[in-house]
Structure 1
């Protein structure tokens, strides 16, 4: 006989069927269907007002849907909210860290609030995983945007939630910080965490996601792998062109050279 936890482990990480949500006369979600495999990165693309954040809020039990069903880690978000909340972590658009505390103190504080054993060891492990060990003793007020975001994500992993929601995680970050966050997200999935990522940036979804869905005016208009989505367009014409460096190539080369020079 399957227990509640074993049933959760055999189900898909996230399943959404016919989800609807309105705010007075404004229909935000109009019958959304998605399924997210365990240990994968699923990107939800859409412009402002498409309904991305509303969907995440429903999946994290912060809002109730008007119609449809949704399960997270095998638990119904409407009927088993406590089990869902134990299974997830939600990271919003802006880093929720205490700037007065050090990075390590932020992590220790959250571990204590979750009543976990040996919060210091948990903090040290996360600092190592997110390449923040050297900065762990510094006040967060001195951190760069990318470092704050990595700390924010690491805080959300305390307690090892199997599912994490990242709502536009690179909002307001510079190019270098954005790449740091991308690497952190890749490492999450490599460790078995299921990631649902909302973003407006096509490049971000292309770089990170195993599957991509486009939410437009409250409906999923396409859902598939990057290769499957590219097949929706006419085949590209093959022409010889001399490849020019991209702006990202220029930026990383110059910044890397400057950093190497300063370290010598």
Structure 2
């Protein structure tokens, strides 16, 4: 069986740079995909790039933009911060109910797209794709994502495809962990900077009440008033009152302004981390 042969090669070459691609090739034999990519998430730093099969520079640049910042909006990353376990997931099933507000995504180099399953994509990301993810738990509380893409117009991924991925997930995860033991050591060290949740923890402190901070943080994560109500155990009316109060205290009038203010805090945090690590932010970053 072609899957077994490619998986065996990935095991034999787990200390080589082509190992992640051999693993992707093995999976492609049983659940064919158009594109695939893999990164590893860490709580106190940007993701680590592992592999991708995007065919051109445009797609690869989109992946760079993702790692530079738009991952903060990604359902997989936010599910990881919330304790996502190993398994197979459709991307759309991981997102909060109001995750794809246009106010959020204009700010993070993303495009609103009505025909995307999530309503947006990073600039340059292949269009019209459905995404299925294998999440792999790693040591040190890290999480690997292998994402597979198929065109929605061609039917995307069937339930049978997802069942097949579930069946091979334990073996795929075991191989990936062996590969990560080697490529994780070789990955370039990057400026370590405060994670999304940690930065959220500081956002609004000293200006907002603890409950207003909670509401602000959930708005930024993409929750609707109804979702905030359910999660915090308060009425929708109370949520709206907290929203009005926090906007007034921060001198804001819209959700877009709230998100822009948060982005300014995020940028300052990153620049501080870069300076502390001896790296000067580029003109694009500082401008």
TM-score by length of 1: 0.24
- The answer to which structure, 1 or 2, has the higher relative contact order (CA under 8 A, 6+ apart) is 1
Query: Of Structure 1 and Structure 2, which has the larger fraction of its residues in helix?
Result: 2
TM-score by length of 2: 0.23
Query: Of Structure 1 and Structure 2, which has the larger fraction of its residues in strand?
Result: 1
